[in-house]
Amino acid sequence: MHITVKKGNLLDTKTQAIILAFYEDEKTFSKLVSSADQKTGGLLGDIIKSGDFKAKPSQVSVIYTRGLLLANRIALVGLGRKSELNLEKIRNAFAKVMQHLRDLNIKDAATSFDWNPMPDQKEKVIAAVAEGAILGLYQYTPYKTVGRDEIHEMRLLEIVADTKDYSVLQDEIKKTKIITDAVYFARNLISAPANEMTPSIMATHAEKIAKRKNVSCRLLDKGKLKALGMNALLGVASGSNQPPKFIILEYTGGQRGVAPIALVGKGLTFDSGGISIKPAEKMDEMKTDMSGGAAVMAVIMAAADLKLPINIVGLVPATENMSGGSALKPGDILKSYSGKTIEVLNTDAEGRLILADALSYASKYKPAAIIDIATLTGACIVALGEDVIGMLGTDEQMKKEINQAAQITGELVWELPLWESYSELIKSDIADYKNSSGRSGGAITAAAFLSKFVGNYPWVHLDIAGPAWAKKDKTYIPKGASGVTVRLLVEYLQQRIKE
Ligand code: BES
Ligand code: MN
Ligand code: ZN
């Protein structure tokens, strides 16, 4: 869907629907709404007086203007109580109203910002409207061939603004479009079935990203990985017929020689569990086990399109985790890229194996910070629920800044402790570490394991096992791949640049 910004008056816009926003606790109409009410002979006053539309958060009603306005319809959307308005409520409301209009097979709509109670935060409010609208309209349909005519798509949202707001709006919409495009990119990669999103196919997507200015892509294939000694990654890949790829994306928007931020993303294009095989039920969901890798690729894409003045290196170890005659076996010992040895007690704890090699490899860049993003543990879902990102790490400042970014993007982040004592639990009897220590504290012991491969760099680990995939519609995150952490990390990088 396109979003455009236009100077003028919303009520003079020729469109299928104009969208007006209302507060639950505000009884007097704004200038714009009064004028719409007058022109339509009191239609707006009527629906509000009737009690049918109360302006509860994300409530939507549509009324018909019978030729009294250029637009055939007015969509009313509720923002709840004015004093309780926040960015998340704005995203939700605009996702809901756009979904409602889309389902009516409406193709274009227009709206404005006369309701904005936070004039000092104009940019953020504008971005929230666009994010809600665009992200909420996401649909993954490439494999639907039957009944395609029932798939509705919005084409255009026009934002009609005063002359004085025009350039701020234009600029903000442009930036938001870049970020939501990146979220769509991640969602598309994650939604794709594993037979059509293999490590090699992920790698071709990375090469496409590298067509941008200041972005380059290198792929380490099996031979190179062997030569480097990335045996933890190779161990996980050994059961699969799909060759692994270690994807390296470098973005150099910053000054030459300035230490980059390293983003490391788990790229398990399918996790069957390997010999420690997963139950059949819901195993299909394990096509999403590359969500961290997709997020890393999307963030690099957005950073390049936003021309952020920063250096970033994205590392995505990509492989399948399968069982078979050459697969990793419980009890096998692997010598990782770092030289440390790992006893594989459970082949389903494969994410930490491939990340171990990737995190050690990140040291080559002497990064200013390392952030890894991974659908790492079911235990994180047990601890925090489906919607929450588990955050662990060694750097207090980074964790604080990631929390601040999350306040803005609406992604839910909660910190788990990473005390020394957890390291006891991952010691192996015969190797340096074991990759599984049972159920208790599973999200934390996984992070403790990763910490052994990070080296002496500020590091944060984000476990997205829960929120990577929405089990049901969540307003602007329709059921399915969420693209979680793409907006969070772009926001974090932007804040870091400002400092
Ligand atoms: N990819 C899974 C974690 C996961 C589970 C992600 C559910 C999304 C939804 C990971 O590779 C895994 O299997 N972890 C095991 C670790 C255990 C064997 C120590 C787990 O969480 O059960
Ligand atoms: Mn697994
Ligand atoms: Zn996994």
What whole-number distance in Å separates Cα of residue 8 and Cα of residue 125? Answer: 19
Asked whether the CA dihedral 460, 215, 363, 237 is positive or negative, the reply is: positive
**Strand ranges in 333-490 using DSSP code E only, listed in sequence order:** 333-335, 341-343, 369-374, 388-393, 412-415, 433-434, 459-463, 469-470, 480-481
User: Of ligand 1's atoms, which has the minimum distance to the CA of residue 288?
Assistant: 8
**Strand ranges in 339-451 using DSSP code E only, listed in sequence order:** 341-343, 369-374, 388-393, 412-415, 433-434
Nearest ligand to the C-alpha atom of residue 377: 1
HSE on the CB side for 346, CA within 13 Å? 18
350 lines ligand 1 (CB under 6 A): yes
The single residue of 73, 96, 175, 352 carrying the catalytic annotation is 352
What whole-number distance in Å separates Cα of residue 454 and Cα of residue 432? Answer: 15
Residue 378, helix vs strand vs coil: helix
What whole-number distance in Å separates Cα of residue 439 and Cα of residue 444? Answer: 10
pLDDT of residue 163: 80
- What domains can be seen in the chain, in order of their start residue? 2-161 (3.40.220.10), 185-498 (3.40.630.10)
pLDDT of residue 272: 98
pLDDT of residue 165: 82
Q: Tens-of-pLDDT digits for all 499 residues of the chain?
A: 999 999 999 999 999 999 999 999 998 999 999 999 999 999 999 999 999 999 999 999 999 999 999 999 999 999 999 999 999 999 999 999 999 999 999 999 999 999 988 888 889 999 999 999 999 999 999 999 999 999 999 999 999 988 888 888 999 999 999 999 999 999 999 999 999 999 999 999 999 999 999 999 999 999 999 999 999 999 999 999 999 999 999 999 999 999 999 999 999 999 999 999 999 999 999 999 999 999 999 999 999 999 999 999 999 999 999 999 999 999 999 999 999 999 999 999 999 999 999 999 999 999 999 999 999 999 999 999 999 999 999 999 999 999 999 999 999 999 999 999 999 999 999 999 999 998 999 999 999 999 999 999 999 999 999 999 999 999 999 999 999 999 999 999 999 999 8
Place of tokens 């957890």: 422
- Long-range contacts made by residues 49-55, C-beta under 8 angstroms, separation at least 24? 53/22, 53/78, 54/24, 54/78, 55/22, 55/23, 55/24, 55/79, 55/80
Give the length of the chain. Answer: 499
Instruction: Quickly count: other Cβ atoms within 10 Å of residue 35's Cβ.
Output: 14
380 lines ligand 1 (CB under 6 A): no
- Answer whether 345's CB lies under 8 Å from 435's CB: yes
User: Of ligand 1's atoms, which has the minimum distance to the CA of residue 438?
Assistant: 19
Q: Measuring from atom 6 of ligand 1, which residue has the nearest CA?
A: 465
The token duo for 19 is: 């969208």
pLDDT of residue 17: 98
For 135-157, the DSSP string reads: HHT----TT--TTGGG-----EE
Q: How far is CA 329 from CA 23, 226, 238, 354, in A?
A: 60, 19, 10, 16
**Strand ranges in 139-260 using DSSP code E only, listed in sequence order:** 156-161, 215-220, 245-252
Phi/psi of residue 334, nearest 5 degrees: -115, 140
Q: State which of 348, 353, 444, 463 you would mutate to test the pocket of ligand 1, scoring each by most atoms of that ligand within 8 A of its C-beta.
A: 348
- Answer whether 78's CB lies under 8 Å from 57's CB: yes
Spacing, Cα 47 to ligand 1 middle (Å): 50
- For helices 486-498 and 291-305, give the axis angle rounded to 10 degrees: 40
pLDDT of residue 388: 98
Q: How far is CA 324 from CA 241, 274, 362, 397, in A?
A: 10, 8, 31, 44
Spacing, Cα 348 to ligand 1 middle (Å): 7
pLDDT of residue 117: 87
Q: What share of the chain is helix, strand, coil (3-state, %, to 5)?
A: 40, 20, 40
Q: Where are the alpha helices (DSSP H) in 87-165?
A: 87-103, 122-136
Known catalytic membership, residue 487: no
- Answer whether 431's CB lies under 8 Å from 342's CB: yes
What whole-number distance in Å separates Cα of residue 213 and Cα of residue 304? Answer: 7
Under DSSP, the state recorded for 427 is B
Whether this prediction's pTM lies above 0.85 is answered by yes
Asked whether the CA dihedral 307, 499, 255, 266 is positive or negative, the reply is: negative
- Cα dihedral angle (193, 376, 386, 312), rounded to 10 degrees? -80
Q: Which helix (H) or strand (E) holds 85?
A: none
Q: Measuring from atom 5 of ligand 1, which residue has the nearest CA?
A: 378
**Burial (0-12, 13-18, 19+ Cβ within 10 Å), 130:** buried
What whole-number distance in Å separates Cα of residue 42 and Cα of residue 20? Answer: 15
The token duo for 490 is: 């772009």
Q: Which residues pair with 60 in a beta bridge?
A: 77
Spacing, Cα 376 to ligand 1 middle (Å): 6
